Chain A
Amino acid sequence: MKQLMLGNAAVARGLYEAGCCVISSYPGTPSTEITEEAAKYDEIYCEWAPNEKVAMEVAFGACLAGKRSFCAMKHVGLNVAADPLFTMSYTGVNAGMVIGVADDAGMHSSQNEQDSRHHAIASKVPMLEPADSAEALEFAKLAYELSEEYDTPVLLKMCTRIAHSQSLVELSDRVVPETKAYEKNIAKYVMMPGNAKRRHPFVEERTRKLTEWAETAPINRVEMGGTKLGIITSSTSYQYVKEVFGDSVSVLKLGMVNPLPVKLIKEFAAKVDKLAVVEELDPIIEDHCRKLGLEVMGKDVLPLEDEFSQNLIAAKLGGTVHTGAALEDAIPPRPPVMCAGCPHRGLFYTLSKNKCTVLGDIGCYTLGAVAPLAAMDMTLCMGASVSAIHGFNKARGAETEGKTVAVIGDSTFMHSGMTGLANIAYNQSNSTVIILDNSITGMTGHQQNPTTGYNIKGDPAGKIDLEQLCKAMGFNRVRVVDPYDLKACDQAVKEELAADEPSVIISRRPCALLKYVKHEAPLAVDTAKCVGCKNCMKIGCPAISMKEGKAHVDNTLCVGCGVCEQLCGVKAFHSTKKEG
């Protein structure tokens, strides 16, 4: 039976059908739904790990124990997990292990646009790359076969347009292979120098064998059409090529992007007048072709940046470019903003008001950088706020200590903020760290984490106490504040910045979008009282705008958090709650 299925859900289905038993992941757009969907199959043990490195090592442990395993992450998550990846390439696997990694060309929800294929090449691990949901399902299953046959972890690379597009798939039954016996094998699994030295030639030989497989693998497919132009492509780029050219050109569609075939490419090149490579981001297939001595079009005409589309391919390679009408008016941009009632808003208003230098981190609260709050000075990667404030204050001492803070969410703190905090406690900088505890992993769409007390299925689980954790590290000053209370926020920030020792402020209130959070009635403005001073506009709430010189509350957005009310000098706001 055919079903319309999201690419990520199709990966999850493939894992299920392949008999995968253990999945450990850290959420990250656009990879998150793979694990969320897999968790709906009761036969698979699924969990959210604190970070990608832990997730990958959990999956490794499971495959070592003899069960097929999986972990998923976004492209930057693979940087975090690169350490186990590079050495797992040497140890190989017992039962099959697959690693899902999702790139984000166009940076819909990411801090950089790196190309994960570099990790596959550098770690010498094979990488498959599906071009729609049906392939996502099929490749997930194939990845396990390759993993077990060639004794290697296998990378399954998604991208935003494959992960978050629905297309038709056909389902099969789940087949669970027999559990592999666990046998102690020091030479294979204990990677100390002498053993690793003997494993390295195995890795090189494996790549040679996989290259041979790639030459005739059905997933590397030639579609002969017109021979004036031949295009080598993969993933979503393949779909754009087919959209523009149909059968008027010949296409070599690659399903495995590491290692790349040699003979297959040379033979394809010989059949066409002109050769082009269409690949998003870096010129990996193109460079491979050049090494083979082939003359090829690629990044000389196509961009290194951003996603491709059919019009782009048409414009650069000679197809029909479509255009549409446009208005003369400038259309104001609509950037993402903190939601109405977002608990981060009150805290960021306080930081903005106190003119703090704010070292930020990765999450919804990165939106604190957006005007009018503009209360962020730096965002780099997961956990960097806590490590960087220590360096910032060590460099400048008293000059910065009294006005600099680090802000990090609860999930990001669990991911990689704890080690930075240990460094502050150990090497003693007078730093103030603010944990924005909204009791969920927000930006990726509400995943549980070790501080929430619930697991991936929503069942009760272990719960890490942030206050106790900070105290155990040696922080004497740990305090909790409600970010809806502006006076309390202001007092906490002022006092902790003034203190003569490192401190942690936990700004605690659940995300306003959580289902269990009860909203207050929307506020309204008494236009007779409002003097149009725009004080309430300083918090950048999407529910408040100015209409005819007076503040106006959009009652479809307002959740009655009352932060704006605290900024009004003339008490113009009132609740719309009906009495009785």
Chain B
Amino acid sequence: METKNIMIVGVGGQGSLLASKLLGHLLMEQGYDVKVSEVHGMSQRGGSVVTYVRYGDKVASPVIDKGEADYIVSFELLEAARWLSYLKPDGQIVTSTQQIDPMPVITGAAVYPENLVEKMRAAGAKVDALDCLALAEQAGSSKAVNIVLMGRLSHYFDLPEEAWQKSLEAMVPPKFLELNKKAFALGKNA
């Protein structure tokens, strides 16, 4: 199988590492060769962060380049737009509609662009946008946005529900499992 590419993008501190761990576990269990590339250190302090997940028969590069991503999973709208050029022409964006102003917008040095979902669609991207923060809060914690997004992403994968549940159980501490299962279902069925 040709290598498939998933990018997880967001703002440092939003929980993308758990999402990539979950995907890594899921895909490895399906028997794929998997590479997951993360960012640690300074950019985790509220900067733009990206995690690359690649799987297939044999994966070489640990990173995804422009025009290569089959999926972009985004925690924040501006970040989806920032990485748009990494999406394949027929790729799928799954994004939360949450907006977090970056410091240049806060200081007034830059403007947060409007109508980003429509503009990304106009640029040819398939965009699945939903208010993951509200769904996460409904599940019991604003921190569960990552799992809401994973639930939503599961729509696009031809994998049995049990495989996702098994990876959730393996990657999430037992204390938070029920909450995260709820978050996953809310994302999936939204």
Report whether B103 and A540 are in contact in the complex, using a CB–CB cutoff of 8 Å.
yes
| B10-69, CB < 8 A from A | 11-13, 24-25, 28, 33-48, 59-63, 65-69
Report whether A330 and B110 are in contact in the complex, using a CB–CB cutoff of 8 Å.
yes
Residue-wise, chain A 520-555 has the 8 Å CB interface mask toward B (1 for contact) of 000000000000000001001010111000000010
Contacting residue for B28 out of A2, A30, A330, CB 8 A: A2
Report whether A324 and B85 are in contact in the complex, using a CB–CB cutoff of 8 Å.
yes
| B85-105, CB < 8 A from A | 85-89, 91, 100-105
Q: How many residues of B contact A (CB 8 A)?
A: 65
Q: How far is the CB of A518 from chain B (nearest CB, A)?
A: 17
Contacting residue for A325 out of B48, B108, B125, CB 8 A: B125
| A139-174, CB < 8 A from B | 161-162, 164-168
Contacts of B109 in A (CB 8 A): 332, 371
Q: Looking across the interface, which residue of chain A has its beta carbon closest to that of B38? A: A164
Q: Is the interface of A mostly helix, strand, loop or mixed?
A: loop
Q: How far is the CB of B5 from chain A (nearest CB, A)?
A: 10
Contacts of A445 in B (CB 8 A): 40-41, 44
Contacts of A109 in B (CB 8 A): 40-43
Is the CB of B173 closer than 8 A to any CB of chain A? no
Assess A108 versus B42: contact at CB under 8 Å? Given A4-B28, A327-B84, A371-B109. yes
Chain A interface bracket (under 10, 10 to 19, 20 to 34, 35 or more): 35 or more
Assess A323 versus B43: contact at CB under 8 Å? Given A4-B25, A371-B107, A540-B107. no
Is the CB of A364 closer than 8 A to any CB of chain B? yes
Q: How far is the CB of A443 from chain B (nearest CB, A)?
A: 6
Q: How far is the CB of A25 from chain B (nearest CB, A)?
A: 15
Q: Looking across the interface, which residue of chain A has its beta carbon closest to that of B41? A: A109
Is the CB of B111 closer than 8 A to any CB of chain A? yes
Report whether A336 and B84 are in contact in the complex, using a CB–CB cutoff of 8 Å.
no
A270 to B109: give the CA distance in the assembly, Å: 57
Report whether B38 and A161 are in contact in the complex, using a CB–CB cutoff of 8 Å.
no
Report whether A331 and B82 are in contact in the complex, using a CB–CB cutoff of 8 Å.
yes
Report whether A336 and B12 are in contact in the complex, using a CB–CB cutoff of 8 Å.
yes
Is the CB of B119 closer than 8 A to any CB of chain A? yes
Contacts of A310 in B (CB 8 A): 61, 63, 65, 68
Assess A30 versus B41: contact at CB under 8 Å? Given A168-B33, A236-B62. yes
Report whether B123 and A334 are in contact in the complex, using a CB–CB cutoff of 8 Å.
no
Q: Looking across the interface, which residue of chain B has its beta carbon closest to that of A444? A: B41
Is the CB of B174 closer than 8 A to any CB of chain A? no
Report whether B61 and A338 are in contact in the complex, using a CB–CB cutoff of 8 Å.
no
Report whether A325 and B105 are in contact in the complex, using a CB–CB cutoff of 8 Å.
no
Report whether B102 and A167 are in contact in the complex, using a CB–CB cutoff of 8 Å.
no
Report whether B102 and A339 are in contact in the complex, using a CB–CB cutoff of 8 Å.
no
Report whether A327 and B40 are in contact in the complex, using a CB–CB cutoff of 8 Å.
no
Contacts of B101 in A (CB 8 A): 542, 545
Report whether B48 and A327 are in contact in the complex, using a CB–CB cutoff of 8 Å.
no
Report whether A323 and B66 are in contact in the complex, using a CB–CB cutoff of 8 Å.
yes
Q: How far is the CB of B106 from chain A (nearest CB, A)?
A: 5
Report whether B123 and A32 are in contact in the complex, using a CB–CB cutoff of 8 Å.
no
A518 to B44: give the CA distance in the assembly, Å: 21
Assess A329 versus B81: contact at CB under 8 Å? Given A311-B66, A339-B13, A542-B103. yes
Contacts of A164 in B (CB 8 A): 37-40
Assess A443 versus B48: contact at CB under 8 Å? Given A323-B66, A325-B84. no
Contacts of B38 in A (CB 8 A): 6, 164-166
A444 to B43: give the CA distance in the assembly, Å: 11
Report whether A329 and B43 are in contact in the complex, using a CB–CB cutoff of 8 Å.
no
Q: How far is the CB of A554 from chain B (nearest CB, A)?
A: 7
Assess A239 versus B42: contact at CB under 8 Å? Given A327-B84, A542-B103. no
Report whether B107 and A325 are in contact in the complex, using a CB–CB cutoff of 8 Å.
no
Report whether A326 and B36 are in contact in the complex, using a CB–CB cutoff of 8 Å.
no
Is the CB of B113 closer than 8 A to any CB of chain A? yes
- Provide a sorted-by-A list of 6 A–B residue pairs whose CB atoms are within 8 angstroms: A109-B42, A166-B38, A310-B63, A324-B86, A331-B82, A545-B105
The 6 closest A-B pairs by CB, nearest first: A109-B41, A322-B67, A29-B41, A336-B47, A332-B110, A334-B102
